[in-house]
Structure 1
Amino acid sequence: MPQFSLYEEEHHPSPWQRTWREFRASHIAFVGLIVLGVFFFFALFAPLVAPFDPLQQNINALLIPPSWELNGTITHLFGTDALGRDVFSRIIYGCRVTFGTSVLLVIIAMGLGVTIGTVAGMMSGVRSSIVNHLLDALMAIPTLLIAIIIVAVLGTGLVNSMWAITLALTPQFIHYTRTFVRSEMKKEYILASRLDGANAWQLFSHSILPNMIEMLVVQGSVALSIAMIDVSALGFLNLGAQPPLPELGAILADGLDVAYLAPWNVALPGLSIFLIVLAINVVGDGLRSALRKRVSH
């Protein structure tokens, strides 16, 4: 028999529990999270999920239609390409390359941007003004254009395109971090910490960073969608991942040669890119809405 307690304390959910509750209340955002989770599962466990080697060619199975077509077969769920490679396996491995690379790029860019932005936000005077004007100039240039210029200097290839996109995304994190830090440095709790003798590192780690996490989550989702588009675009333009590496943009470019004979070679990888970017944007909007409602409550 459960014991009754007259002095039972009222349960107050943590800030992240309230955020999750508000996020889950949005059905569209929750569906987007599920879709994003499916692609993340494909990226993480591609060797276990893919039925075929993505590079395996089969001259006896050229341009087989998808399984829902009249001439399709369940063996090749999404059909095959002009070299007899299984499209479903190539898309799964393409998600691993494109999506996995994008996540890695955002993490690196976030680390660099937060470090430089925090230092810039704590500076004042002429140095802070110079950094601010440089950031404003870089923010006016599209990230894809910056990435193309850097790849033109460094050379083509997936690694060079990764460096290019990282360098293109970093100024955004620097800008938002610097703006956030400068606004926080004017608040009373920072002044109280300074009066207690806290140095710059203690101010950042104990006072500023805990309040910055929400902003980084939101900006990280925006940067992830940009990174996905940029990685795919560079692969499509043959500036990023090079054949035979299965990358969604490169797979889409390969399918253009047989687009009239086998439109699924273009439609399916393009649909995969669209769904991933759409899911990232929906989840990002859901996070922003949940954080806003949590603060208002």
Structure 2
Amino acid sequence: MARFSLYDEEFHPSPWQQTWQEFRASHIALVGLFVLLMFIIFSVFAPWLVPYDPLEQNVDGLLIPPSWQLNGTVSHLFGTDALGRDLFSRIIYGCRVTLGSSFILVILAMLVGVSIGAIAGIMSGVRSSILNHLLDALMAIPTLLIAIIIVAILGTGLVNSMWAITLALIPQFIHHTRTFVRNEMKKEYVLASRLDGASNFQLFFNSILPNMIELLVVQGTLALSIAVLDVSALGFLNLGAQPPLPELGAILADGLDVAYIAPWNVALPGLTIFLMVLSINVVGDGLRSALRKRVSH
């Protein structure tokens, strides 16, 4: 039933409402958002969702098949590994470690990258040109390779791998922020603010940054998928999270030793990583498409 209005006014949705309407129109993007929210819930509420301690070993329950196989049991939904640890509990905690650490390092990379990128965008001359060419050279190198080099210098471990991936992601945020700021500095609303006496600091935080939020959301989702892959890859290569810490890449590496007799030890954590990265990429593509359609309208 239409709501009665005394005045004949048109409803103009806000930019975020328009973006959500365009995003909601894509069923694939909604499914990706639902899957990503599921992984976030697993990460946040992992201590209350898992039936067993992920580090608890049980010598009487080695390599129990998943519950959907003939020899499986409902008490171990995803079966157990070579040390008798419940695989479902380890994967839930693995989502917490992998996705949680990826969120943290993406936020750190975004804060540092946006700060440096804003300064580089406002600057002009030789310094800005040198920084731009240096960033282009760094972005040509895969982030995983940069992270491996940094881990080789800092040493193995989850914290060191997080620092390494953060340093590898920073150039991307600097590059996108610098390009956006340089384009915005030429627009009339920024020139008007500058004529009113606004400093560079005020120009960025009051005029440019509010228009940059949506760009940062899209770039953040892309960086998050890269971070999840890199954290998992370093854990798989034994350069990141170290046993017995339940991290998806490390769980996948542990399952390789028994892959022939217990393939679920490899398939389930691998499928979890695949679905996590896929859901993040689908949400990122949906956001980009929604923003493009909103701007075109």
Tell me how far apart the structure 2 counterparts of residues 6 and 228 of structure 1 sit (CA, whole Å): 53
The aligned counterpart of 1:188 is 188
Tell me how far apart the structure 2 counterparts of residues 194 and 163 of structure 1 sit (CA, whole Å): 37
**Residues 142 and 4 from structure 1, CA distance in 2 versus in 1: closer, same or farther, beyond 3 angstroms?**
closer
Deviations 1:211-247 (A, max 9, x none): 1111111111110000000000000000000000000
Say if 2:36 is the partner of 1:36.
yes
Tell me how far apart the structure 2 counterparts of residues 129 and 199 of structure 1 sit (CA, whole Å): 22
* Identity within the alignment, %: 81
Say if 2:252 is the partner of 1:241.
no
Structure 1 residue 138: Cα displacement: 0.5
The aligned counterpart of 2:102 is 102
Equivalent AA in structure 1 for residue 72 of structure 2: G
Equivalent AA in structure 1 for residue 174 of structure 2: I
**Residues 3 and 288 from structure 1, CA distance in 2 versus in 1: closer, same or farther, beyond 3 angstroms?**
closer
RMSD: 1.1
Deviations 1:131-164 (A, max 9, x none): 0111011011100000000000000000000000
Tell me how far apart the structure 1 counterparts of residues 7 and 71 of structure 2 sit (CA, whole Å): 71
The aligned counterpart of 2:256 is 256
The aligned counterpart of 2:118 is 118
Using the TM superposition, name which of 209-218 and 141-150 deviates more. Answer: 209-218
Structure 1 residue 74: Cα displacement: 0.3
Q: Counterparts of 1:156-167 in structure 2 under 5 Å?
A: 156-167=156-167
**Residues 3 and 84 from structure 1, CA distance in 2 versus in 1: closer, same or farther, beyond 3 angstroms?**
closer
Tell me how far apart the structure 1 counterparts of residues 63 and 285 of structure 2 sit (CA, whole Å): 39
Structure 1 residue 5: Cα displacement: 4.2
Runs ≥4 in structure 1, deviation > 3 angstroms?
2-6
* 5+ long unaligned stretches in structure 2: none
The aligned counterpart of 1:215 is 215
Say if 2:66 is the partner of 1:61.
no
Structure 1 residue 4: Cα displacement: 5.1
Equivalent AA in structure 1 for residue 9 of structure 2: E
Tell me how far apart the structure 2 counterparts of residues 124 and 195 of structure 1 sit (CA, whole Å): 19
The aligned counterpart of 2:154 is 154
Structure 1 residue 187: Cα displacement: 1.0
Tell me how far apart the structure 2 counterparts of residues 133 and 247 of structure 1 sit (CA, whole Å): 36
Equivalent AA in structure 1 for residue 80 of structure 2: T
Structure 1 residue 11: Cα displacement: 1.9
**Residues 4 and 27 from structure 1, CA distance in 2 versus in 1: closer, same or farther, beyond 3 angstroms?**
closer
The aligned counterpart of 1:127 is 127
Structure 1 residue 12: Cα displacement: 1.4
Deviations 1:35-85 (A, max 9, x none): 000000000000000110000000110000000000000000000000000
Q: Counterparts of 1:130-141 in structure 2 under 5 Å?
A: 130-141=130-141
Tell me how far apart the structure 2 counterparts of residues 196 and 167 of structure 1 sit (CA, whole Å): 38
Tell me how far apart the structure 2 counterparts of residues 145 and 10 of structure 1 sit (CA, whole Å): 53
The aligned counterpart of 1:289 is 289
The aligned counterpart of 1:87 is 87
Structure 1 residue 6: Cα displacement: 3.5
Tell me how far apart the structure 2 counterparts of residues 48 and 97 of structure 1 sit (CA, whole Å): 15
* 5+ long unaligned stretches in structure 1: none
The aligned counterpart of 2:51 is 51
Structure 1 residue 113: Cα displacement: 0.4
Tell me how far apart the structure 2 counterparts of residues 183 and 12 of structure 1 sit (CA, whole Å): 27
Tell me how far apart the structure 1 counterparts of residues 139 and 4 of structure 2 sit (CA, whole Å): 60
The aligned counterpart of 2:72 is 72
User: Secondary structure of 1:209's match?
Assistant: helix
Structure 1 residue 266: Cα displacement: 0.2
Structure 1 residue 8: Cα displacement: 4.2
Q: TM-score, normalised by structure 2?
A: 0.98
* Number of residue pairs matched by the alignment: 296
**Residues 80 and 181 from structure 1, CA distance in 2 versus in 1: closer, same or farther, beyond 3 angstroms?**
same
User: Secondary structure of 1:99's match?
Assistant: helix
